[in-house]
Amino acid sequence: MIELDDVVVTAWSPDPAGGADRVVRLLGPVTLRLAERRIAVVGANGSGKSTLARLLNGLVLPSSGTVRVDGLDTATDGAAVRQRVGFVFTDPNAQIVLPTPLEDVALSLRRRFPDKVERLEAARAALRRFGLGERADVSVHALSGGQRQLLAIAAVLAVEPAVLVCDEPTTLLDLRWRRVVDDLLADLDQQVVVVTHDLDAARRADRVLVVDDGLVVYDGDPHEAVAHYEALMGQAGVP
Ligand SMILES: Nc1ncnc2c1ncn2[C@@H]1O[C@H](COP(=O)(O)OP(=O)(O)OP(=O)(O)O)[C@@H](O)[C@H]1O
């Protein structure tokens, strides 16, 4: 269970008029209980979706209020929270750090498998699970964008987090790879929270949060939430 209580996130921002930096509100106040297996977060660019997603594993900390995962506070139990909550970025290149898929997944597994032989075996098994068994030893630069996204997800899931948070994991992918990644996420045992601009994918969730101007303005039934978001976008003027 993920619990957000009265969470506000602020940041310092330069004053466009040239005055002193000012505190701006990026998100909140937000209070949520997230227990559903498939949760989607939709909203306009800059509305606060990534900030909300990053709160869930402590990548962003609340300026006030608390975020708890299975009772662990992201502000005080960050390492334990990050073991429970894996995070997948939009661009897999942001999280692939080693030259080959095998080495990259093995890096994630270094704590679980101190023995190198066991670690490499587990890494190969993780890659096979995501259809990358044949590509284990190639350069990561030889992978397609879709394969790289699968690798990033495989590396995060290798440590068996209870929750997977994905920030627009299919935005850079073509339709074929989008389906592969969507199907893969749909089949996971884990609780999955996905930030997405793909409204069809959002409709398949158990619950959808609509974020606008740093607030959760709709929370509930996926079809109604998507309709609410579409209406919101229909009303919005072009900036
Ligand atoms: N560290 C920061 N300092 C100042 N402003 C920030 C910071 N991080 C985010 N913002 C601002 O907060 C707002 C929300 O950003 P966020 O990345 O959460 O939006 P988003 O809904 O994920 O957008 P997108 O769909 O474009 O990725 C934006 O206006 C962004 O410029």
Kindly list the structural domains of the chain, giving each domain's residue range(s) and its CATH number in brackets, ordered by start: 2-235 (3.40.50.300)
Q: Cα angle at 34 between 28 and 36, to 5 degrees? A: 145
Q: Going by CA atoms, what residue is nearest to atom 11 of ligand 1?
A: 26
Q: What spacing in Å lies between the alpha carbon of 82 and ligand 1's midpoint?
A: 21
**pLDDT of amino acid 28:** 86
The whole-angstrom separation of Cα 41 and Cα 194 is 6
Q: Answer whether 26 contacts ligand 1 (Cβ < 6 A).
A: yes
Is-contact 55 4, C-beta < 8 A?
yes
Q: What spacing in Å lies between the alpha carbon of 153 and ligand 1's midpoint?
A: 23
Q: Answer whether 48 contacts ligand 1 (Cβ < 6 A).
A: yes
**pLDDT of amino acid 19:** 84
The whole-angstrom separation of Cα 83 and Cα 202 is 26
Nearest to 147 by CA among 192, 177, 102: 177
**pLDDT of amino acid 172:** 82
The whole-angstrom separation of Cα 170 and Cα 200 is 12
Residue owning tokens 């997230």: 34
Q: Residue 206 carries which side chain, given as an amino acid letter?
A: D
Could you list the mean pLDDT of each consecutive 10-residue stretch along the chain, which spans 239 residues? 97 85 92 97 96 97 97 96 94 91 94 93 92 93 90 91 94 85 90 95 96 95 94 69
Question: Measuring CA to CA, how many Å separate 136 from each of 124, 201, 204, 238?
Answer: 7, 29, 32, 46
For 8, the token pair is: 């506000």
Nearest to 191 by CA among 37, 4, 1: 37
The alpha carbon of 17 is separated from its chain's Cα centroid by a whole number of angstroms, namely 35
Is-contact 159 113, C-beta < 8 A?
no
Provide the whole-model pTM: 0.91
**pLDDT of amino acid 13:** 87
Q: What spacing in Å lies between the alpha carbon of 52 and ligand 1's midpoint?
A: 10
The whole-angstrom separation of Cα 150 and Cα 139 is 15
The whole-angstrom separation of Cα 116 and Cα 19 is 56
pLDDT in tens, 173-210: 888 888 888 888 999 999 999 999 999 999 999 999 99
